[in-house]
């Protein structure tokens, strides 16, 4: 087979995409199937079996049950670089309100707290999976134009920031165990609330590091009619929450982005009973180790001081509950990817996208083997919906990820899956020219 070459002698990847782009109907159907049948973190068994079956149908070697329900497809296509492409399997405990015919009505018992909850793909992982499978089909179809090894990885438990590390700890890159080669480069992307067709990345820090904590504040319980005989943990918790806000407003350098969020507060069960304790769930985000450590030290100092001021009967309990690493885009890798994106997407590509305070555990797939990585965002919102909202000055009305009515364009139209073009673009580039 021959393909017209660019002046440099490299195949024109846009032409490969146009020539080998698969029929998208089966992948649109798969998207709807996945959307209607989401599974919570650590319980993605049916979803994993579905993607594994699709990988086998392409003739790929498949490894399953890595770090939980992790799946890897391996396509060895001669001598060359090994490229890992990643998508995620899990969904969120959200009650869907999109009104779609294929909206999720599923409920599952969350193993994190043994509570039954509604489940929804409110973070776009259904789109990630279906579009990556479509990209795999495209890559397989144009295999005469590249050489190397392709790793198609479907990660469990991303929402808790633990799945990537669990796969590594389970011997992901131990060839003696899973026979999966170490990647030379790791690539991935995420759909966001942005106009479909738009793509963006940047060199250096791309997503913040995030840390989560649980803080238990102790009081002395009693009846609501005798507050003077108690130490009210609700009042203590409220004072603590307000004081924690000063970490960003009065202690952090305005030029170093930091976020401190108290996402949940629980104390008591009845309106006339003063409880024994209150629990805060705290989340922080930062782009540097210095900012992260300084923020944690401030949290410890403030909570302990507030408890002492309130006369708590014992010191508070503060424990870490979760961690997402800093997502840092390797400069050289991102430069090559950016050149390819710009050539293919033109003005729809932004090489200097703002860094996001959102977080990802993507880096845990690259850092353990010192592989360079590049991550990007791409739009998933129906263009007409986006343009109408923009014209009215109401872009804030478009639902974002993690909301109960988040809906990608794939849910309402036969629009293209953005990652299908993006993935072939970058992966072919690395196979042939890295």
To the question of whether residue 228 is assigned a binding role by annotation, the answer is no
CB of 198 closer than 8 Å to CB of 348: yes
For helices 125-141 and 45-57, give the axis angle rounded to 10 degrees. Answer: 10
Structure tokens at 157: 């438990």
Helix (H) or strand (E) holding 327: strand 327-329
Cα(382)–Cα(399) distance, rounded to whole angstroms? 12
To the question of whether residue 190 is assigned a binding role by annotation, the answer is yes
Q: Sign of the CA dihedral 289, 290, 291, 294? A: positive
Cα(185)–Cα(423) distance, rounded to whole angstroms? 13
Q: Sign of the CA dihedral 234, 240, 244, 250? A: positive
Residues 6+ apart with CB under 8 A from 297: none
To the question of whether residue 159 is assigned a binding role by annotation, the answer is yes
φ, ψ at 393 (rounded to 5°) = 70, 35
To the question of whether residue 123 is assigned a binding role by annotation, the answer is yes
Structure tokens at 309: 């001021």
Residues 6+ apart with CB under 8 A from 327: 205, 206, 207, 208, 359, 360, 362, 363, 375
From the list 187, 434, 217, 164, the residue with the least C-alpha distance to 324 is 164
Cα(131)–Cα(134) distance, rounded to whole angstroms? 5
Cα(271)–Cα(304) distance, rounded to whole angstroms? 27
**140: exposed, middle or buried (Cβ count in 10 Å: 0-12, 13-18, 19+):** middle
Cα(331)–Cα(127) distance, rounded to whole angstroms? 27
Residue 131, helix vs strand vs coil: helix
Residues 6+ apart with CB under 8 A from 251: 294, 298
Residues 6+ apart with CB under 8 A from 239: 306, 310
Cα(204)–Cα(374) distance, rounded to whole angstroms? 9
Q: Tell me the pairing of strands 273-274 and 222-223.
A: antiparallel
Beta-bridge partners for 74: 61, 151
Structure tokens at 155: 């990660």
Show binding-site residues for Mn(2+).
123, 125, 159, 190
Show binding-site residues.
123, 125, 159, 190
């Amino acid at each position: 087979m021959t393909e017209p070459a660019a002046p440099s002698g490299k195949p024109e990847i846009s032409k490969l995409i146009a020539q080998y782009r698969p029929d998208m109907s089966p992948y649109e159907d798969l998207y709807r199937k996945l959307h209607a049948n989401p599974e919570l973190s650590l319980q993605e068994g049916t979803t994993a079996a579905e993607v594994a079956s699709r990988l086998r149908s392409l003739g790929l070697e498949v490894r399953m049950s890595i770090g939980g329900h992790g799946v890897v497809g391996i396509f060895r296509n001669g001598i060359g670089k090994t490229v890992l492409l990643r998508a995620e399997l899990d969904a969120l405990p959200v009650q869907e309100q999109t009104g779609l015919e294929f909206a999720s009505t599923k409920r599952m018992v969350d193993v994190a707290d043994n509570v039954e909850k509604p489940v929804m793909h409110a973070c776009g992982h259904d789109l990630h999976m279906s579009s990556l499978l479509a990209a795999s089909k495209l890559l397989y179809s144009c295999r005469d134009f590249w050489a190397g090894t392709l790793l198609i990885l479907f990660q469990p438990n991303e929402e808790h920031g633990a799945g990537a590390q669990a796969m590594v700890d389970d011997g992901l890159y131990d060839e003696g165990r899973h026979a999966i080669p170490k990647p030379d480069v790791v690539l991935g992307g995420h759909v966001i609330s942005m106009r479909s067709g738009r793509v963006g990345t940047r060199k250096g820090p791309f997503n913040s590091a995030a840390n989560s904590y649980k803080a238990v504040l102790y009081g002395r319980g009693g009846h609501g009619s005798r507050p003077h005989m108690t130490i009210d943990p609700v009042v203590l918790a409220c004072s603590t929450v307000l004081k924690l806000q000063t970490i960003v407003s009065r202690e952090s350098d305005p030029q170093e982005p930091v976020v401190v969020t108290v996402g949940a507060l629980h104390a008591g069960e009845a309106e006339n009973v003063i409880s024994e304790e209150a629990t805060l769930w705290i989340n922080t985000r930062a782009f540097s180790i210095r900012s992260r450590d300084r923020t944690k030290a401030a949290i410890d100092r403030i909570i302990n001081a507030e408890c002492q001021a309130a006369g708590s009967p014992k010191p508070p309990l503060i424990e870490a509950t979760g961690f997402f690493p800093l997502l840092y885009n390797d400069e050289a890798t991102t430069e090559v990817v950016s050149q390819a994106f710009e050539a293919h997407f033109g003005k729809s590509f932004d090489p200097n996208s703002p860094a996001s305070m959102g977080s990802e555990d993507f880096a845990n797939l690259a850092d353990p083997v010192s592989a360079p990585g590049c991550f990007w965002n791409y739009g998933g919102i129906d263009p007409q919906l986006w343009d109408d909202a923009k014209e009215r000055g109401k872009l804030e009305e478009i639902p974002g990820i993690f909301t109960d009515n988040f809906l990608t364009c794939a849910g309402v139209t036969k629009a293209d899956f953005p990652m299908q073009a993006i993935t072939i673009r970058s992966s072919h580039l690395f196979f042939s020219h890295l």
